[in-house]
């Protein structure tokens, strides 16, 4: 190369925290379906996300429904459906959690109409043949058996049972036996009841003209209907923070899975930016206080972290650490200590600045890819928010100061609010844990 750096025109940096929001358009169709189209022409592809509410649905039936939906329709057998996707350079699948049924798709930009035509066919003409349904149920049940013996998953389920009681959130995955009991008639009935346009939200992101994409979606999904108010979750039970440590036995385990949860507000709250920063300082990034203590200083674990999770019925700060059996109680002690420090002592200005720069950078990165942008817009829509919230949130991050972040930490990261669960060898860890606080087996067993 012979050119000099001085010969290159380097774009000026954006103002700190500034976000350039992409061109977008929105419409709510007569069917009740909301369509959001966002232009991101980095590559000639489009990403699609369709979120359909499914609160309080039977977990086994809705899980098998998601596993079956995109395999065939009454008009298109499995092999032909796969060929149609291949011709458009596309993909189409479905997944589910306690809040929503989510379709994920992509295609070459020139085939957006074809992708939406196929989506419309799946939504209105999915088929559930008896033999194929039984085969899918058997495969899904086998996969669940593998997942449910993994210690990390057992810890998640135990924490949810302690945190949510008899709420549907307490059962993140169905049992294999329940899945095997689902019939094609069950799938047909649930499809008719829940796969409907009212309150659903379609997101399109990619190399598209937003207004034209709205028209394409309206044409392709004109047959997707179904009205009425969506089923809503029952209120969450009051958080039982300060209750005994929930201990689930894993005989012979060489590690313990430590999980904590603290209730907190969701993204729509006025002080969510301050909570976001406080969480990162505590355990949300690799240089956090929690990682510095448990990983760098004590060597108890390779990874200790916290994250804010925001299902629709209520948000929480989740804390995760997998530690050696011998240091289970000391690790729980140190997690409580770091929560106490967050609640009782001011954060440092340097910590706030580092967390702020990290969050602003991550947000820019999440908008730089079509799939990341589609996911982000869909997740915001589930909270009743739109892209302009990102600009407002960035401004609040820039404005957040040490006193405000310290106040949020004291409000939401205080140890008495925490629900604590440990999955480990009870013969080895029960007595040391009991030296810290009471230990109970109640409410953690499946």
Segment 187-191 shows an average pLDDT of 96
Distance CA 97, CA 312 (A): 11
Distance CA 429, CA 422 (A): 9
Segment 163-191 shows an average pLDDT of 94
Q: What is the pLDDT of residue 16?
A: 61
Please check the confidence at residue 446 and state whether its pLDDT lies above 70: no
Q: What percent of the chain has pLDDT over 90?
A: 87
Domain at 245-440, CATH class: alpha beta
Q: Give start-end residues of each CATH 3.30.830.10 domain in the chain.
A: 24-220, 245-440
Segment 17-35 shows an average pLDDT of 91
Please check the confidence at residue 378 and state whether its pLDDT lies above 80: yes
Element (H, E) at 37: strand 34-39
Please check the confidence at residue 439 and state whether its pLDDT lies above 70: yes
Provide the pLDDT confidence category of residue 24 given band limits of 50, 70 and 90.
Answer: very high
Q: What is the pLDDT of residue 14?
A: 55
Query: The tokens of 199 are what?
Result: 């309150």
Instruction: Compute and round to an integer the Cα radius of gyration of the chain.
Output: 24
- Which region, left, alpha or beta, applies to residue 76 given φ > 0 means left and ψ of -120 to 50 means alpha? beta
Q: What is the pLDDT of residue 342?
A: 98
Provide the pLDDT confidence category of residue 231 given band limits of 50, 70 and 90.
Answer: confident
Q: What is the pLDDT of residue 9?
A: 65
Please check the confidence at residue 423 and state whether its pLDDT lies above 80: yes
DSSP strand E in 91-155: where? Answer: 91-96, 100-108
Contact in structure between 440 and 243 (CB atoms under 8 Å): yes
Give how far Cα 366 sits from Cα of 20, 321, 336, 352, 360, Å: 13, 26, 32, 21, 10
Q: What mean pLDDT value characterizes the chain?
A: 93
Return the minimum-mean-pLDDT range out of 14-18, 253-257, 350-354, 386-390.
14-18
Closest CA to 178 of 145, 129, 141, 147: 141
Provide the pLDDT confidence category of residue 403 given band limits of 50, 70 and 90.
Answer: very high
Give me the CATH topology for the region 24-220. Cytochrome Bc1 Complex; Chain A, domain 1 (3.30.830)
Please check the confidence at residue 1 and state whether its pLDDT lies above 70: no
Please check the confidence at residue 5 and state whether its pLDDT lies above 50: no
Q: What is the pLDDT of residue 185?
A: 97
Please check the confidence at residue 2 and state whether its pLDDT lies above 60: no
Of 335 and 170, the structure prediction assigns the larger pLDDT to 335
Indicate the SS3 state at residue 256.
Answer: strand
Please check the confidence at residue 227 and state whether its pLDDT lies above 80: no
Please check the confidence at residue 52 and state whether its pLDDT lies above 90: yes
Segment 74-87 shows an average pLDDT of 95
Q: What is the pLDDT of residue 351?
A: 97
Provide the pLDDT confidence category of residue 20 given band limits of 50, 70 and 90.
Answer: confident
Give how far Cα 32 sits from Cα of 116, 193, 208, 217, Å: 17, 15, 23, 13
Q: What is the pLDDT of residue 242?
A: 79
Segment 242-247 shows an average pLDDT of 90
Segment 208-233 shows an average pLDDT of 92
Please check the confidence at residue 357 and state whether its pLDDT lies above 70: yes
Distance CA 37, CA 125 (A): 25
What are the residues facing 50 on neighbouring strands? 103, 202
Segment 167-187 shows an average pLDDT of 95
């Amino acid at each position: 190369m012979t050119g000099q750096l001085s010969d290159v025109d380097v774009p000026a940096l954006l103002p700190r925290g500034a976000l350039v929001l992409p061109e977008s358009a929105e419409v709510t169709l007569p069917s009740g379906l909301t369509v959001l189209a966002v232009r991101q022409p980095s590559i000639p592809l489009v990403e699609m996300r369709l979120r359909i509410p499914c609160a309080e649905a039977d977990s086994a039936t809705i899980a098998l429904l998601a596993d079956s939906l995109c395999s065939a329709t009454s008009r298109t057998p499995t092999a032909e459906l796969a060929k149609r996707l291949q011709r458009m350079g596309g993909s189409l699948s479905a997944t589910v959690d306690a809040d929503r049924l989510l379709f994920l798709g992509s295609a070459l930009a020139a085939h957006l109409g074809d992708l939406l035509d196929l989506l419309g066919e799946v939504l209105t003409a999915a088929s559930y043949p008896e033999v194929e349904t039984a085969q899918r149920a058997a495969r899904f049940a086998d996969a669940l058996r593998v997942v449910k013996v993994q210690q990390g998953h057992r810890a998640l389920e135990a924490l949810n049972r302690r945190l949510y009681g008899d709420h549907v959130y307490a059962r993140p995955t169905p049992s294999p036996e329940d899945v095997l009991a689902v019939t094609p008639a069950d799938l047909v009935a649930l499809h008719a009841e829940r796969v409907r346009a009212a309150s659903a939200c379609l997101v399109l992101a990619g190399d598209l003209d937003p207004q034209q994409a709205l028209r394409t979606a309206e044409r392709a999904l004109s047959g997707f209907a179904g009205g009425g108010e969506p089923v809503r979750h029952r209120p969450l039970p009051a958080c039982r923070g300060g209750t005994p440590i929930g201990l689930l036995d894993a005989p012979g385990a060489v590690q313990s899975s430590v999980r904590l949860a603290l209730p907190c507000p969701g993204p729509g709250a006025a002080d969510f930016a301050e909570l976001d920063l406080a969480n990162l300082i505590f355990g949300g990034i690799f240089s956090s206080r929690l990682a510095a203590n448990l990983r760098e200083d004590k060597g108890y674990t390779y990874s200790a972290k916290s994250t804010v999770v925001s299902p629709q019925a209520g948000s929480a700060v989740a804390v995760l650490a997998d530690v050696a059996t011998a240091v289970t109680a000391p690790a729980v002690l140190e997690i409580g200590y770091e929560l106490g420090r967050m609640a009782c002592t001011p954060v440092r200005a340097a910590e706030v600045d580092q967390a702020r720069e990290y969050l602003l950078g991550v947000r820019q990165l999440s908008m730089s890819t079509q799939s990341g942008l589609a996911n982000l817009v869909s997740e915001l829509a589930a909270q009743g928010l739109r892209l302009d919230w990102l600009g407002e949130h960035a401004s609040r991050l820039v404005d957040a100061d040490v006193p405000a972040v310290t106040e949020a930490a004291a409000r939401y990261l205080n140890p008495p609010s925490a629900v604590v669960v440990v999955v480990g060898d009870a013969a080895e860890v029960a007595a040391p844990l009991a030296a810290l606080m009471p230990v109970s087996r109640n409410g953690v067993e499946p």
